[in-house]
Amino acid sequence: MKISADLHIHSCFSRATSKNMIITTLGPQAKFKGLELVGTGDAFHSGWLKIIEDSTEESEDGIFSLKEDHENESCKFILTAEVEDKRRVHHLILLPSLESAYNIREKLKSNNIDADGRPRVRMNGKEIMDLVHKFEGLIGPSHAFTPWTSMYKAYDSYLECYDSKPDFLELGLSADTAMADTIEELQDIPFLTNSDAHSPWPHRLGREFNEIELKKLTFKSIKDSIKKCKIKANYGFDPRLGKYHRTACTRCYLIYDVEKAKKLNMKCSCGGIIKKGVDYRISEIATWNEPHHPPKRPPYIHILPLAEIISIVYSKGVTTVFVQKIWKELVDKFGSEIEVLIYSPLKEIEKIDLNIAQAIKSFREKTLKITPGGGGKYGEMIFEPESTLDIYL
């Protein structure tokens, strides 16, 4: 069986997250997106663990379902967490059971583990990895190349961080497989693409996800599939849309040539700090100029949130009534957002909205124009309507 899974989100207990990041909201919204499995996030926070226990039941080994979900209107859940180590590196953790979450929680060295859904711990990467592996979990670097809280921000090699190979590497919104596969040490490490969502709505949840082949939907099967590189596809942003893709000022977001930024001592004329982009950081540690994809590396498929495509076409806000009306009409017609974006016939989409059909065609053919992001600002898509004559021939 194949499932679509987003394994990195946060709960309402994390900073800068929506109060709607609760299990009973996440489950149905994930289903609208087209996700079968979502990570719970924040599985070391006592308040969130209580909500998980009160709202779900373990339907399979390590897999949780909403209680009384008789109509299958919700996705399934797997226990996940993210922690920040003493060098401010973020680590994504997948857990086999509630018992393992409680056991690891007790052993994490933190001044106040419930201060945030993503706890800060007085431990290094190796210590955290050893603890997670002791309780049969999986661990790898979150958004591995970002310029703030990532493994490759703090280190030039995963061995410096963990002292051994991580179970996976999360690419993050500002990088894709083509970029990461220029680094030789990553050739035998599985890549994950996850949303890191702080809001449950489908333009955030599942904006990146993984298609994973499983024998059955259990934690053991997920663990085996990840470790044996049975991820069939990574779906994610065009990295130019990520907010740390290019080197840019963190105040005015002006994008800089790296050499010019260095001459300016990484200080913008506006007074802001120039932050090194993911594209440049990868070039610093890359082995090759072009990607060398190993045989088991799955395809990376660029995907965009449907609500953002609609909002760009009509110059409306993502959450406006107008955009949400068209979004709902498309999802109701085709079953899920993923179906609309990737699989549904353009001629059928045209019957609902010709302009959206054109935009999705441009998205699928990679002809949408993009202004790259950097310095903390997301990249921007530019939609230029084409003639409607023969656009589907």
What average pLDDT does the segment 234-241 reach? 95
* Average model confidence (pLDDT) across the chain: 94
pLDDT given for residue 97 in this prediction: 98
> Does 55 or 366 have the greater pLDDT score?
55
Position 393 scores a pLDDT of 35
User: pLDDT band at residue 384, thresholds of 50, 70 and 90?
Assistant: confident
Is the pLDDT confidence value at 364 over 80?
Answer: yes
State the pLDDT at residue 386. Answer: 63
> Residue 317 pLDDT > 50, yes or no?
yes
Distance CA 73, CA 27 (A): 8
Beta bridge partners of 141: 91
Residue 389's pLDDT band (cuts 50, 70, 90): very low
- CA neighbor of 246 nearest in space, from 206, 281, 199: 281
Q: Could you tell me what percent of the chain has a pLDDT over 90?
A: 90
pLDDT of residue 387: 45
pLDDT of residue 319: 87
Report pLDDT for 87: 97
- 234 pLDDT exceeds 70? yes
Domains of the chain: 2-240 (3.20.20.140), 305-382 (no CATH)
How distant is the alpha carbon of residue 160 from its chain centre? 24
